Amino acid sequence: MTADPTENQVYSEVKTGKTTAATEPVDVTYADVDLKQKSKAKKKKETSTPPEADSVYSQLKPGTAPALPETTLTITPNPAYTGETVTLTCSVGSDSGWSYKWYKDKKKKVVTLSGRHTTTGVTFTISRAAEFDQGLYWCQGEIQSRSISSIISDPVTITVKALPTASVKASPRGPLYSGETVTLTCSMGSDSGWRYTWYKDKKKKVVTLSSRHTTKGATFTISRAAESDQGLYWCQGEIQSRSISSIISDPVTITVKERPVAVLTLQPNWPQIFSGETLNLRCNIQGGEEIEYAFYNSGKSVYTNTEPEYRISPAKNGLYTCKGLQKTNGLKHSQTSNAIQLTVLDKPQAVLSVSPQWLNPGDSVTLSCGVKESSTGWRFFWYRTVPYTAGLLSLSDTSYSVEPLSGNGTSEDSYTLIPAGPSHTGGYVCRAGRGDPVYDTLYSEPQFLWSGDPQPSVSLKIRPNRTQHFTSTSLSLSCEEKRNSTGWRLKRYREKAVESECVSNWGSRAGSSCTIRSTRKKDSGVYWCESGSGEYSNAVNITVDVGPLILESPAYPMTEGDTVTLRCTNRYQETNPITKVDFYKDGIFIRNETTGEMTIPAVSKSDEGFYKCKSNEGESPESWVTVRGVTPGPSTSVLVGVVVGLVVAGVLLAILLVLLCRYKKAGGPPSPKAPTWTPNRTKDLSRAGLLMLGGANIYDTITPSDSHDNDAGAATAGPSDVMYAQIQLKELDKKKKSQDGEDQR
């Protein structure tokens, strides 16, 4: 016989706690049941469906009888936030027909239902969850009609938390500068699953997204910040699936301002920079507290420091800029500065000029120094050349050593030698310096101060004795010593370079002479003799010309009163003599000669100048003719002194005779009030009488005057007239004072 499965289903509680269901009739022998049932079941056999299990719980061997079902409890959401709805669901496998009981905190403490706590079917709902809803929850199924219950579920803990408060942080912190990017981050602590809403200026004014305003996850980013982005910002989290929102954050303030301007300056601000110089770049930024100064060359960082100066030593080429960086995070603080282009030039060489370069007695000479590439910021240093000595300041080619003329240099670019005389002949160089530390240029090429006058130690002789020479002719030069001076060397200066000795590339040496056997145009230059101790002879300026004509003029200065002959010579004079020549002085035509020669019978200072000649053959180069004044010698001074003494004695005798005659006519001594002598009386005296007034020693200190103001008088009356005129005025003044004193007596 087969029983109804529904009616005959029996549940057993086995030792293992597992439950099984018997769905078919079985032949069961009940044994090992609890004590209450042992007597009834002893030796009983029965072939039928299991008896009702409402009061009988058998402890059987596993797998031999059905067991009570287990109960499963699930809760969503968990944890929950205050005010949220929590749903508990109880399940007894796949069985149906169960009703459920709910327990809290204790297994047998049934929850109290209320308006917030309701049950529907398998669910228990907690609305508007609060903190006191937290705790342990169980559930158990039962079939009341059969008086059976499932195994109670494992407990589940419900956690109810307060709604989190959102917090917002801005990076970077502090004021923003136009163009910067700022990121706002919203945080809910350790919770996840939130989405975020951003507000600006008002708590419920949601920000408008754009290409500059973007969100991703918990961040809100503002790119290329502008002043319009300033304001208050909030954030709030929400879980849309649960319809809950966090407490809105406190606001954060975003301030946007223009970046401060950076200004880069160069110190010293020279227009040209030279290799080896030291420079300072200075970055000036307003409001530069708590920042670092970054310097860049062509966009590459080269120096960063809290000080605004960058010292470049030595100077380097490049395009330099600077900007300020925030010290705390290295972010850009200022705008990028203006750019300064540095172009470093090669080390410069000073350029020296000497004026005049040929000495005249009594002349002052001006040395002028400059730097061709730049005229800014230099101080000038002046030197005289001396024979090369190891250990002294020397020129790079070791041709000369140098001795300073001024210790600290001069801010002016000129230096004057007063008076200039034979002791100043020689070579001079200069150089310039500027900056701190001082940066020096290269020494200038040496420039020379020459004298054509014979010197006491040695003189340069030239044969033929003229300053102009044709090419392809022979020229001999020699240093002729006048006393025991040794070590004299012939030198020449041409094309801004000094050449020492008579070397094979320009001449041959024989004894004390140097012979240029075949002159070339490049042999033109200034020649002189120089001793090992630094003494100089007279110098001769030689011109070698390729043209058809040269002007033969004296190679040495002429003395006033000398006769000078200037001759215009044809290259082929012997076969083609010149018949008609025009002579010029300082570019002005002065006369025509048919002999090819012009003679000045008695030269004076006014005859000094540049001379040249012209003919139908062509034109000669110019030559300078120097004229020196007469300096009286010792014998002449004695003779003149005797003559002057006699004249003075005669004048005194005449004065005595005049006084004696007046005395006799007056009959006694003259009245003290009557003048006996006036300065105007001197106009009646002869020139000899005037000379006698001066005494015999006046010539000891007289030097010839080179003043051009006296040239006209010198040309007609001779040089001595000029000196006597000067003496006349001086002695008349003395005589006047003497006579006035006698009148007062």
Q: What is the per-residue pLDDT for 640?
A: 52
Whole-angstrom Cα distance, residue 662 to residue 650? 19
On whether the CB atoms of residues 523 and 516 are closer than 8 A, the answer is yes
Is residue 622 classed as helix, strand or coil in its secondary structure? coil
Q: Give one DSSP letter per residue of 343-398, joined into a string.
A: -EEPPPBEEEEEESSB--TT--EEEEEEETTB-SS-EEEEEEEEE--TTS-B-TTS
CA 475 to chain centre: 56
The radius of gyration of the chain's CA atoms, rounded to the nearest angstrom, is: 63
Residue whose C-alpha is closest to residue 527's, from 478, 596, 580, 600: 478
Per-residue pLDDT at 74 exceeds 80:
yes
| Run of H or E residues at 736 | helix 719-744
Q: What is the per-residue pLDDT for 372?
A: 87
Residue whose C-alpha is closest to residue 206's, from 164, 248, 163: 248
| Among 196-200, 338-342, 488-492, 710-714, the least confident range | 710-714
641-644 contacts at long range (C-beta below 8 A, 24 or more positions apart): 641/696, 641/697, 641/699, 642/696, 643/691, 644/691, 644/692, 644/694, 644/695, 644/696, 644/698
As to burial, measured by CB atoms within 10 angstroms (0-12 exposed, 13-18 middle, 19+ buried), residue 442 is middle
On whether the CB atoms of residues 446 and 384 are closer than 8 A, the answer is no
- 580-611 tens-digit pLDDT: 899 999 999 999 999 889 999 999 999 999 99
Q: What is the per-residue pLDDT for 589?
A: 95
Its sign, for the CA torsion 195, 200, 206, 210, is negative
- 313-338 tens-digit pLDDT: 999 999 999 999 988 777 788 889 99
Q: What is the per-residue pLDDT for 685?
A: 31
| Among 28-32, 289-293, 492-496, the least confident range | 28-32
- 162-184 tens-digit pLDDT: 888 999 999 888 788 888 899 99
Residue 261 per-residue DSSP state: P
As to burial, measured by CB atoms within 10 angstroms (0-12 exposed, 13-18 middle, 19+ buried), residue 240 is exposed
Number of neighbours of residue 171 by Cβ within 10 angstroms:
11
Residue whose C-alpha is closest to residue 347's, from 276, 397, 396: 276
CA 164 to chain centre: 59
Strand duo 273-274 + 344-345: pairing: parallel
On whether the CB atoms of residues 183 and 218 are closer than 8 A, the answer is no
| C-alpha dihedral (175, 176, 182, 185), degrees to nearest 10 | 10
What mean pLDDT is reported for the chain? 77
- 635-651 tens-digit pLDDT: 445 555 665 677 777 77
| Tokens describing residue 180 | 């910067």
Its sign, for the CA torsion 636, 640, 643, 645, is negative
On whether the CB atoms of residues 166 and 236 are closer than 8 A, the answer is yes
Per-residue pLDDT at 506 exceeds 80:
no
Averaged over 696-705, what is the pLDDT?
Answer: 35
Whole-angstrom Cα distance, residue 229 to residue 211? 13
| The length of the chain, given as a count of residues | 745
- 220-267 tens-digit pLDDT: 999 999 989 999 999 999 988 888 888 999 999 999 988 889 999 999
CA separation, residue 481 to residues 55, 99, 329, 455, 459 (Å)? 159, 148, 83, 10, 7
| C-alpha dihedral (710, 714, 717, 720), degrees to nearest 10 | 90
391 falls in which pLDDT band (50, 70, 90)? confident
On whether the CB atoms of residues 603 and 561 are closer than 8 A, the answer is yes
On whether the CB atoms of residues 292 and 304 are closer than 8 A, the answer is yes
Q: What is the per-residue pLDDT for 312?
A: 93
Averaged over 350-360, what is the pLDDT?
Answer: 88
Count Cβ neighbours within 10 Å for each residue of 490-502 and write b for 16 or more, e otherwise: bbbbeeeebbeeb
Whole-angstrom Cα distance, residue 6 to residue 580? 165
| Tokens describing residue 674 | 């009557």
Q: What is the per-residue pLDDT for 373?
A: 83
Q: What is the per-residue pLDDT for 722?
A: 35
| Among 22-31, 100-109, 657-666, the least confident range | 22-31
| Among 101-115, 369-383, 577-591, 625-639, the least confident range | 625-639
pTM score of the predicted model: 0.54
Backbone angles phi, psi at 326, to 5 degrees: -70, 130
Residue 721 per-residue DSSP state: H
Number of neighbours of residue 566 by Cβ within 10 angstroms:
24
